[in-house]
Amino acid sequence: MAEKPAESSDILVSTPRDGVLLITLNRPKVLNALRSKLIGEVRAELERAAEDEAVRAVVVTGNERAFAAGADITEMKDKSAVEVLTDTRLAAWQAIGGFPKPIIAAVNGYCLGGGCELAMSMDIIVAGEDARFGQPEINLGIIPGAGGTQRLSRNVGKSLAMKMVLSGEMMRARDALAAGLIAEVVPPELTVERALELAALIATKPPIAVRLAKASVAQSYELPLQQALDYERKAFALCFATEDRLEGVSAFIEKRKPSFKGR
């Protein structure tokens, strides 16, 4: 997929193809350490993508050595507690987590600290066999601060989350798959290709139903069961107000491929 540099060089952004936008984290010399500028650029690009009808799904990737080795430690080094608490990056992280369209992390190499938190804030993680996931913040005298203690334990359970957060030990892709942290493991050279393929498949689905399905699954991590089921029921009913639902059902009955319009 052709890539053009965005306004700044911390990320590369493709022209959407098959409804899929590819964002590549691009600080290879520091293993894609997530300085504020990079996170801000990802946020801005996702805000554009949220508005762009040509984008139906997004893939975020790094390079063969790293998806991202965490927050930029040199940037973090001199921060005071107040600066950390009032850091505008927090809003950027939340905005990325709230992106309404499907977003897939294609992970090769290190996926650590904030990098692991960034991947976990996305909908699906596809990883190369060489990927290594971890929350090594404890080695720096801090703890995960962008969801690592919360999303990780929801994703892999208490015992494994505790092991990773308390020991800083990394987990290999196969173990991450077994633990439910990621959806698929593929040969490293196929990671991006597979993520793009999956995103392109999702991009052929009815956009409103996709959006509601994503929001509904996300609610299962936010709400008590009865409230989440209620949310699902309402989202389900809302699908019946869409033209795409009529198109999907008609296409099935007429034995043809549906053409979804996002209406």
Interface contacts to ligand DAK, rule CB under 6 A? 30-31, 33, 69-74, 84, 87, 89-90, 93, 110, 112-114, 136-137, 139-140, 145-146
User: Which lies closer to ligand DAK via its Cβ, residue 38 or residue 57?
Assistant: 38
Calpha distance 38→166 (Å, rounded): 27
Least CB distance from residue 18 to ligand DAK, whole Å? Answer: 32
Annotation marks residue 53 as catalytic: no
Least CB distance from residue 67 to ligand DAK, whole Å? Answer: 11
Least CB distance from residue 260 to ligand DAK, whole Å? Answer: 36
Annotation marks residue 117 as catalytic: yes
User: Which lies closer to ligand DAK via its Cβ, residue 150 or residue 204?
Assistant: 150
- Which has the closest alpha carbon to 197: 213, 207, 184, 209? 184
- Which has the closest alpha carbon to 61: 102, 96, 104, 94? 104
Asked if residue 66 lies in contact with residue 109, where contact means CB atoms within 8 angstroms, the answer is yes
Tell me the one-letter amino acid at 75: E
From the candidates 62, 113, 114, 148, give the one annotated as an active-site residue: 114
From the candidates 40, 66, 70, 117, give the one annotated as an active-site residue: 117
Annotation marks residue 128 as catalytic: no
Calpha distance 19→44 (Å, rounded): 18
180 φ/ψ sector (left φ>0, alpha ψ -120 to 50, else beta): left
Least CB distance from residue 95 to ligand DAK, whole Å? Answer: 11
CA atoms within a 13 Å half-sphere pointing along the CA-CB vector of 110 = 19
User: Which lies closer to ligand DAK via its Cβ, residue 74 or residue 259?
Assistant: 74
- Which has the closest alpha carbon to 207: 66, 99, 57? 57
From the candidates 71, 176, 195, 213, give the one annotated as an active-site residue: 71
Backbone torsions φ then ψ of 58, nearest 5 degrees:
-130, 140
User: Which lies closer to ligand DAK via its Cβ, residue 141 or residue 224?
Assistant: 141
User: Which lies closer to ligand DAK via its Cβ, residue 54 or residue 142?
Assistant: 142
Annotation marks residue 137 as catalytic: yes
Backbone torsions φ then ψ of 56, nearest 5 degrees:
-110, -15
Least CB distance from residue 194 to ligand DAK, whole Å? Answer: 24
Which residues are annotated as catalytic? Answer: 71, 114, 117, 137
